[in-house]
Structure 1
Amino acid sequence: MAKLPHTSETAIAITFLVMNLSTLLRQVFCLFLCFQLSESLFRSSLITKGYQPGNY
C-alpha cells in the first residue's frame, strides 16, 4: 500500500525481483533433483549389473 510514486515503483520492482528469484530457485532445485535422481539410478544400475544369482 504505497502512497507516493517512488514507493510504488519500489514495491513493483521488489515484486518483480521476488518473482524472478522464485523462478530461479525453482530451476536450481529441479536441476538438483534431476542430478540426484540420475546419480541414484546410476548407482542402482551398477549394483544390479554386478549381481549374479547363484554365486554365493
Structure 2
Amino acid sequence: MPLLPRWRYMTPNSQRSARRLGISVGVLLLGLLVKLPLTWLVVGLMVWWLWIGLKRH
C-alpha cells in the first residue's frame, strides 16, 4: 500500500516535490535526533535543494 494513495495519479513534477519534501523532513528529524545544530541542517538542505534545482535545468 503506497504512502500517498493517489501517488500514481500525481504528475511527475508533483511526485518530485513530494519526495523532496519527505526527504527534507526526514533529514531534519534525523539531524535533531542526533542533536546536530539546526543551522547546519538548514544550510545543508538549502545547498541540496539548489544542487537538485540547478542539475535539472
Q: TM-score normalised by the shorter chain: which range applies?
A: 0.3 to 0.5
TM-score by length of 2: 0.44
CA radius of gyration, larger in: 1
TM-score by length of 1: 0.45
